[in-house]
A and B are shown apart, each in its own frame.
Chain A
């Protein structure tokens, strides 16, 4: 039930490089995302506490 152009061999795409200058592995990219999220949480908690 495949369409033309659909690969039946389940071709394995190599674990792509991030291509980013400072973040060479995907785990580093994910870590940056989590740190960014944590910083936002801290800022929002500070905003809530400071002005309430």
Chain B
């Protein structure tokens, strides 16, 4: 990175954080700290909900997903419109009517204290771990690529977000997220435009799509009913609905965003804004990855995008076997490139037979090259034990560093950090709030004043920030980063959602029945995760269904033996 990039990066990040602190300097009340000033308009809520969900991993790793697997990943978001409509129509009015600070407070009123604590505990465990991943994931990629010390990157970005979140609370999160999202969109749109500009001169818009389609990169929808297949229309629509319902409806980091709305209308419109925008947004981020794939069909890509592996390769020039992989890969890419030039010419001449033959040759060379890359990656991963992220996480950042001009590089790295800070701030804010409202105040300090609770929330927010940094410092990932975050959420979200579904819709079930059902269902999900190789998108559906069915069964059993199970149909 050049000095100009550093100026853009550090300037934009510090300016936004400082603005967050300045803007919320007068906030002294607990209510304002936990929910904002309750004047937030729908557009700010919509952006805040979007920024909370879209972490740095979304922008770093999703184009890589598009590069490697095409547009299929967009299917994970198919459940979002339905889920957000259910939340806007059912969840939000109830949360607002009861004027709760956390979603789990509602469980306490509807059931009992132990169920409220269970819901909050599930949230704290999964979100506490998730917060570590949110900060670790961009740090490992950026530190590896730029050669920055990883620990320093994690600690410094973690401290920035702790400072303004602790000082400003919920309003600081909402205010800063607006500007962080502006930087993110500016960066992504610039990158998109520059990829289009950098495509070869003779390659038209339709040529680009035809080429991507022939490489199966535009297969956005798969109607397969195979449950082992990770991303299909059905897993996205059914499993995705439950995943999104759980995330947006029961995860305090999201609930806190839309509870801060000036009215029910503002909260609902903020959610509908996301229901409309999310699929197009993810589509264009994936399409960016597909365009980068097309770009690299005409430019020599590195053997490894994964910086750990490429650094290892550079540091061991005497390793003949590895360098042979590189030479073979380059030669196959040259061969594919020549065939693609022929394909393009034949296509423009209208010679279908020649175009088909040329593309078949290019595809064979491409597939051979991919085999070599996989072999090289496998053997290098065995040698280098420090490999912690897959190639997908490095595709976009490698493209940015090698193909985009200075200034834009700084803007995009600022976008990644902005995304990391915005989602992390919302998570810390929610973790601190839930710890105070659901644990500290009801169990430890029942007579705490609001001033005392405010101070406690700030300490807990800082505590969770330090936990996240500590977790990030010791995290070692085996999966693609964005998938790791989604898998972690899927394991816990089903049961959390089950608790709320029973609370909202099954009025005769009481606290004891739902509490024990939730524990058994969570154990079931852990068992399935380790024994049944199905797409993780199904876990929320299975977890919530198990929790609901077991609750009804247990309540029936309790009724038979004369226990009412703390029924309360608030």
Q: Which A residues have a C-beta under 8 Å from some C-beta of B? A: 1, 3-7, 10-13, 15-19, 26, 29-30, 33-34, 36-37, 40-41, 44-45, 47-48, 50-52
Contact = CB atoms under 8 A, between A and B. Distances in A.
B348 to A, nearest CB: 18
A7 B100 CA distance: 9
Given A10-B98, A16-B263, A34-B85, A52 B268 contact: no
Interface of B: 29-31, 71, 74, 78, 81-82, 84-85, 88-89, 93, 96-101, 108, 209-210, 212-214, 216, 218-221, 263-265, 268-269, 272, 275-276, 279-280, 283, 437, 441-442, 446, 450, 453
B392 to A, nearest CB: 21
Given A26-B89, A26-B268, A10 B276 contact: no
Contacts of A1: 108, 441-442, 446
Contact of B265 (A6, A16, A30, A47): A16
A48 B279 contact: no
Interface SS of B by simple majority: helix
Contacts of A7: 99
A37 B406 CA distance: 38
A34 B210 CA distance: 30
A30 to B, nearest CB: 5
Contacts, number: 101
Given A5-B31, A16-B268, A37-B279, A45 B93 contact: no
A50 B210 CA distance: 9
Given A34-B81, A44-B71, A11 B279 contact: no
Contacts of A3: 30-31, 101, 437, 441, 450, 453
Contact of B220 (A4, A10, A44): A44
A47 B85 contact: no
A19 B265 contact: yes
A40 B96 CA distance: 32
Contacts of A50: 213
A48 B70 CA distance: 11
Given A16-B268, A50-B213, A44 B81 contact: no
B537 to A, nearest CB: 17
Most buried by A among B97, B216, B219, B265: B265
B276 A36 contact: yes
27 contacts: A3-B101, A4-B30, A4-B31, A4-B450, A6-B31, A6-B101, A11-B97, A11-B99, A12-B97, A18-B265, A18-B269, A26-B89, A29-B268, A30-B89, A30-B272, A33-B84, A36-B276, A40-B280, A40-B283, A41-B78, A47-B218, A48-B218, A48-B219, A51-B212, A51-B214, A52-B213, A52-B219
A6 B450 CA distance: 11
A2 B366 CA distance: 64
Contacts of B221: 41, 44-45, 48
A5 B276 CA distance: 34
Contacts of A36: 81, 276
A1 B23 CA distance: 31
A33 B81 contact: yes
Nearest to B38: A5
B103 to A, nearest CB: 15
A30 B264 CA distance: 15
A6 B98 CA distance: 9
Nearest to B265: A16
B74 A33 contact: no
Nearest to B437: A3
B320 to A, nearest CB: 41
Task: List the 8 shortest-distance A-B pairs measured between CB atoms, nearest first.
Answer: A51-B213, A16-B265, A44-B220, A37-B81, A16-B264, A51-B218, A7-B99, A5-B31
B450 A13 contact: no
A28 to B, nearest CB: 11
Contact of B275 (A18, A19, A33, A47): A33
Most buried by B among A5, A11, A50, A51: A51
A52 B100 CA distance: 50
Contacts of A51: 209-210, 212-214, 218
A32 B31 CA distance: 34
A43 B158 CA distance: 41
Contacts of A4: 30-31, 450
B213 A40 contact: no
